[in-house]
Amino acid sequence: MRINGDPPPAAEISAFCDRLNEIVAGGGAIKLVQIYTVARLPAESFVSALTDAEVDQLVATVRERTGLAAEPFYGK
């Protein structure tokens, strides 16, 4: 999601990928990573949906950094 118009920072995306890798390295079995954005009107006005292109970029990053299957799910 976007916070005050900004997408997730690169450090947050990197930490997410690192955590997925830690789970797998620890024996976790992840069949699919679902990348999605807000689908309904958020309760907070400073929250908004990612664009389809931003969701697609997140999916590509997760696939590249983790080797896991990842699929996009778009907002409105």
Q: What is the pLDDT of residue 76?
A: 66
In angstroms, what is the C-alpha Rg of the chain? Answer: 13
> How many other CB atoms are there within 10 angstroms of residue 38's CB atom?
14
Strands 47-48 and 2-3, sheet pairing: antiparallel
Q: What is the pTM of this model?
A: 0.90
Q: How does pLDDT run along the chain (76 residues), one tens digit per residue?
A: 999 999 999 999 999 999 999 999 999 999 999 999 998 889 999 999 999 999 999 999 999 999 999 999 997 6
